[in-house]
Structure 1
């Protein structure tokens, strides 16, 4: 099985990922991943929307599984097999903000305990890291801001790589507000 990162938005797919997709006979992915990969899918390829993530490990060895962003950043890389990296939302957010990736710490709140994620983020910021927090639509940026000192910078990065991309900057004292459900938060001294 190949796990192929399709990037975090249109045009963010690598040549290696495009080649893996073009050579696939069977592809599985989310609606969003399939949409991002569509320009590279050959006619006649069997394309399936993932409906049961627990069954992915039982797919045939020649299957290509699409993962949005990069499979190793909260993606499907845990499935094993060959991983073809993609351009992640972290890479795009840090590039847009001019922050080196080596300063970063990753925290996920997507489908997880938000209070624990906020505590982890606050700890990493206190250690001098710039936190890349993977949010979900219910994540509260004001709750994160309350856990940080007022001067800490916060960026809400929405729809990265898409035409409607938006990066709103603020501080913990005056945090930015997300407008969409597809967002990440970068916080720290940057």
Structure 2
């Protein structure tokens, strides 16, 4: 099995990922991952939307599993087999904000305890790190902002890589509003 990162938005498929996808005869992915990889999928390839993430470990050895962004950033990189990296939302958000990746502390709130994620993010910001928080649609940016020193910069990065991409920057005292469901948050001194 190969787990292939398809990037966080259109046009972010690496040449290596495109070559693996083009050579595949059996592909599994979310609807979004399949859409991002569609141009590289050859005619006649058997493509399946993932319905049971728990069953992915039992796929045939020749299967290619598509993972949005990079499989090793809260993706499907835990699956057995080779991992082909992708361009992650972390890379794109930090590039847009001109923040060096070495300053990053990653916190995941995607499908996890949001209160714990807020506490972890606060701790990392107080340590001088720039937090990259992987959010889900229910995550409350206001709760994060309220937990931070008021002068802390807070950015909401939405639909990264898509034509409707939006990066809005505020502070802990006046955080930017979230407009959609596909977003990450960057917080700290940047």
Same fold, TM exceeding 0.5? yes
> Cα offset for 1:29?
0.1
The equivalent of 1:103 in structure 2 is 103
Note if 1:131 corresponds to 2:134. Answer: no
Q: Deviations over 1:48-81 (max 9, x none)?
A: 0000000000000000000000000000000021
- Structure 1 moving runs of 4+ over 4 Å: none
For 1:36-75, list aligned pairs within 5 A. Answer: 36-75=36-75
| Residue-by-residue CA offset, 1:7-50 (whole Å, 9 max, x unaligned) | 00000010000000000000000000000000000000000000
The corresponding residue for 1:183 is: 183
Equivalent pairs counted in the alignment come to: 190
Normalised to the residue count of structure 1, the TM-score between the two structures is: 1.00
- Superposed CA offset, 1:116-171 (max 9, x none): 00000000000100000000111001100111000000000000000000001000
Matched residue, 1:114? 114
5+ long unaligned stretches in structure 1: none
Q: Quick one: distance in 2 between partners of 1:75 and 1:152?
A: 28
State the alpha-carbon separation in 2 of the partners of residues 45 and 125 from structure 1: 46
Give the whole-Å Cα distance in 1 for the aligned partners of 2:112 and 2:143: 15
Q: CA deviation at 1:102?
A: 0.3
Q: Does 1:11 align with 2:16?
A: no
